[in-house]
Amino acid sequence: MTPRLWAACALGVLVVALIAYAAVVIPWHRPPAPRADQLDALRGLPGDQVQRARAFHADLRPGSYGAMAVSILAALVLGLTPLGARLVSLAGRPFGDHWIAQAVLGGLVIVLVVEVLTLPFAAWRHTVVVRYGISTQTWGPWAVDLAKSYAVGAVIGGLALLGFFTVTRLAPRWWWAFGAAGAAALVVLLSFVLPVLVEPIFNKFTPMAQGPLRTELMSLAARDGVPVRDVLVADASRRTRAVNAYVSGFGPTRRIVVYDTMLTEATPEEVVSVTAHELGHAERGDVLTGTIIGALGAAAAVIALYLLGSLGWLLRLAGTESMGEPRTIALLLALVSLAGLVGGPAQALISRRIEARADAHALELTGDAATFEAMQRRLGSVNLSDPDPPTWEYVMFASHPSTVERMAAARAYARGER
């Protein structure tokens, strides 16, 4: 068989494996959260709180969706016209048009163009979250965090592009196979490395002081069969009033992390309830599940890009001759952006199902539906979550069940419904 036929077969196998794995590990049946209970919970929330949360999200939408539209449009213009290829060539010209310079610097230039175009929308969003009291950052610290985010993305993206185009040069006929394996390996590596190396760039973590709460959290993890190394407090208050907690890392690096804002805004029982939810992710191996799905998806994407390289009209639009040359970076970005937009609702659905299962786990682990509901009410109030968002927005983008869904799930659990 030809390499292209092998690639088509490999893509089919990966797609089938991805669908089969997701069908088995994703909790498609969610715990009951009756709509009647949701509406009753919504009526029980303070009217001014609901109104303020909805006003907050209404003010955010122009910036959020404007940035999305501009980034996709920019990616399409750069990728489906010769403009992107020209920018990559210009980036490599001071270095004798060397392919490494084109791959790394050209990729950074393409991404930088999109980031600069969407920067005004990011600034707009910052003004909104400051006005509503969610963000505690002035413009200086905000700009520093933004620069850190860009720098981390540049390092990871530059290494990925260097690896990708190294493979395409060394194995011009079979790069799809090596590239698919490399993309999958990179996803797995980042899952292990990011929590340990990247999180400290944005936050300082200190061990939680010895006391009843730390003892309870460690005991909760032990009772759940999830060994954790430590309980850490993140200095989230230097940038936000939002409250949160999470379990981070694998094996010996796993730790419970609690925002310092949560320690001041929530009761100890509510902190335990949120931690029980996060332990549910660890106990069920949700991070590993996401890593495997991401690795299979990344491998499939590389092979799909290889097969798309047979579409001569697509390459002509981009002003390139092969998917394996650095001048196609803008085209790759455009295709990935379109795939992300199309696949977004499916990713959101999977995330909501996993989060709902973690909620059920928290209720089972603590047996305290009242505190769980109180915690959801507090999360919604402090974080200004829309308690019952518009259906279209929920379907397209919501990664978690809504506040009233989670409150309804607690009430159903209290009645013995599973």
Task: Give the residue numbers annotated as catalytic, written as ranges.
Answer: 278, 359
With left for phi above 0 and alpha for psi between -120 and 50, is residue 348 left, alpha or beta? alpha
Long-range contacts of 101-105 (CB under 8 A, 24+ apart): 102/326, 102/327, 103/161, 103/162, 103/164, 103/165, 103/326, 103/329, 104/158, 104/161, 104/162
126 among annotated binding-site residues: no
Angstrom distance (rounded) from CA 286 to CA 257? 17
- In the three-class reduction of DSSP (H, G, I as helix; E, B as strand; rest coil), residue 277 is classed as helix
DSSP codes of every residue in 293-333: HHHHHHHHHHHHHHHHTT-HHHHHHHT-S-TTSGGGHHHHH
Q: In what order do the strands lie in the sheet with 231-234?
A: 205-207, 231-234, 255-259, 245-248
Angstrom distance (rounded) from CA 120 to CA 207? 37
Angstrom distance (rounded) from CA 16 to CA 399? 24
Residues 6+ apart with CB under 8 A from 174: 3
Q: How many residues does the chain have?
A: 418
Angstrom distance (rounded) from CA 228 to CA 251? 8
Angstrom distance (rounded) from CA 213 to CA 268? 6
Binding residues for Zn(2+): 277, 281, 355
Q: Enumerate the known binding-site residues.
A: 277, 281, 355
